[in-house]
Amino acid sequence: MQSQMCLGSGAVLKQTPLSGVKEFKAVVLREEPMSREQTMCDTPEKAAQFWFEHVEDAARFTPGVENFVVLLLNTRRRIIGWQIVSTGTLDTLLVHAREVFKVAIVANAAALVLMHNHPSGDPTASEADIRVTRDLVRGGQLLKIEVLDHVIVGQATNERPKAYQSLRERGYYHQ
């Protein structure tokens, strides 16, 4: 008898009981379309561009609330995949390292770019954003998966010409 457990990453773990020992197999269920050529993601600008071109049009993206996304990168800093890890409320989002790194491990990612949106349009980091980022950076160090940046997406204004804020550029965490 076989049972299945769905992973948030679009993968399924298939479980086959055998003498009391469980065997797990990860299988991709659904992939979001990506360009034929892997996208380079070595700056916050490129991460924000990826968000606007791909994430906001995804079936799982929920406009009007916070969405936490993980971009999965290979050793050459090219995007090999991405996932909406958590969907929150108007101004709150629950993120746990287990969900963030589960998809990274399954995808064999060398590095991550964390991203989320602020529905208010103001990409300024909150204390909670900074705290979660630091926790995830520490988790990545333990797993040897580098957290390159945390980019918060909002809307550009006359006073704020960028529609995003990079926590790395702002100096909120150190690798």
pLDDT averaged per 10 residues in sequence order, the chain, 175 residues: 47 56 62 64 96 94 96 96 95 95 96 97 95 96 97 95 95 70
CA 150, 152, 157, 160 torsion-angle sign: negative
What phi-psi label fits residue 89: left (phi over 0), alpha (psi between -120 and 50 degrees) or beta?
beta
**pLDDT in the model for residue 22:** 64
pTM: 0.81
Cα–Cα distance measured from residue 27 to residue 49, given in angstroms and rounded to the nearest whole number: 29
pLDDT tens, residue by residue, 100-128: 999 999 999 999 999 999 999 999 999 99
Rg (CA), the chain: 17
**Residue 89 pLDDT:** 96
Q: What is the pLDDT of residue 2?
A: 47
Q: What is the pLDDT of residue 23?
A: 62
Residue 85 CA to residue 94 CA, distance in Å, equals 10
pLDDT at 172: 82
DSSP code of 53?
I
